Structure 1
Amino acid sequence: MDTDSDANTRSRLVDLASGRGVSLAALSALIGRNTTYLQQFVRKGSPRKLEENDRRILAEFFGVSENELGAQTRSDAVLAMKGAVRGATPAVRAALAEWADIPRLPLGASAGPGTIPAEEIPSGRLRFSNRWLKAQGLVPTMLSVIEVEGDSMEPTLRDGDEILVDGTPRPLRAGIHVIRLDDVLLVKRLETGPGGTLRVISDNAAYPGLERPMQDVEIIGRVVWKGGRL
Structure 2
Amino acid sequence: MTIGDRIKQARTDGPAGKVSRKDLAAVVGIAYSTLADIENGYQENTTALHRIARRLGVRVEWLETGRGAMEAPPNQSVGYDDGSTSQGVARFETDEGYVRFPLLEGFAGMGRGDYVGDYPEVVTSLRVSRDWVERKFPGVPPEVIRVMTGRGDSMKGQFNDGDLIFIDTRVKDFDQDSAYCFRWEGRVLVKRLQFVGRNTLRILSKNPDYPAIDAPLSEIEIGGRALAAWTLQEF
* Residues 1:50 and 1:184: Cα distance change in structure 2 (over 3 Å): same
SS in 1 for 2:197: coil
SS in 1 for 2:115: coil
Q: Is the 8 A contact 1:146 1:162 kept in 2?
A: yes
Q: Is the 8 A contact 2:12 2:19 kept in 1?
A: no
SS in 2 for 1:141: helix
Looking at structure 2, the residues matched to 6 and 207 of structure 1 have their Cα atoms a distance apart, in angstroms, of 41
Tell me which amino acid in the other structure corresponds to 1:136: P
**Identity across matched positions, percent:** 23
Q: Deviations over 1:57-82 (max 9, x none)?
A: xxxxxxxxxxxxxxxxxxx98xxx79
The corresponding residue for 1:99 is 98
1:212 to 204, 210, 215: 215
Looking at structure 2, the residues matched to 184 and 5 of structure 1 have their Cα atoms a distance apart, in angstroms, of 27
Residue 156 (structure 2) pairs with residue 127 (structure 1) = no
The corresponding residue for 1:143 is 145
Q: Is the 8 A contact 2:165 2:227 kept in 1?
A: yes
Looking at structure 1, the residues matched to 19 and 148 of structure 2 have their Cα atoms a distance apart, in angstroms, of 27
SS in 1 for 2:112: coil
Matches within 5 A, 1:142-221: 142-169=144-171, 172=174, 173-221=176-224
Looking at structure 2, the residues matched to 111 and 176 of structure 1 have their Cα atoms a distance apart, in angstroms, of 11
* Residues 1:132 and 1:186: Cα distance change in structure 2 (over 3 Å): same
* Residues 1:224 and 1:189: Cα distance change in structure 2 (over 3 Å): same
Q: Is the 8 A contact 1:27 1:38 kept in 2?
A: no
Q: Deviations over 1:21-80 (max 9, x none)?
A: xxx5x666666831234776899x9846858xxxxxxxxxxxxxxxxxxxxxxxx98xxx
Tell me which amino acid in the other structure corresponds to 1:129: S
Looking at structure 1, the residues matched to 172 and 138 of structure 2 have their Cα atoms a distance apart, in angstroms, of 14
* Residues 1:6 and 1:226: Cα distance change in structure 2 (over 3 Å): closer
Give the TM-score normalised by structure 1: 0.62
Aligned-pair Cα RMSD in Å: 4.0
| Aligned-pair CA distance for 1:101 | 1.3
Looking at structure 1, the residues matched to 163 and 11 of structure 2 have their Cα atoms a distance apart, in angstroms, of 40
Q: Is the 8 A contact 1:29 1:220 kept in 2?
A: no
* Residues 1:203 and 1:103: Cα distance change in structure 2 (over 3 Å): same
The aligned length equals 183
Looking at structure 2, the residues matched to 190 and 214 of structure 1 have their Cα atoms a distance apart, in angstroms, of 10
* Residues 1:33 and 1:6: Cα distance change in structure 2 (over 3 Å): closer
| Aligned-pair CA distance for 1:155 | 1.7
Give the TM-score normalised by structure 2: 0.61
Tell me which amino acid in the other structure corresponds to 1:108: F
| Aligned-pair CA distance for 1:189 | 0.5
Looking at structure 2, the residues matched to 166 and 27 of structure 1 have their Cα atoms a distance apart, in angstroms, of 16
Residue segments in structure 1 that go unaligned for 5+ positions in a row: 15-23, 52-75, 83-93
Looking at structure 2, the residues matched to 95 and 33 of structure 1 have their Cα atoms a distance apart, in angstroms, of 16
SS in 2 for 1:193: strand
SS in 1 for 2:224: strand
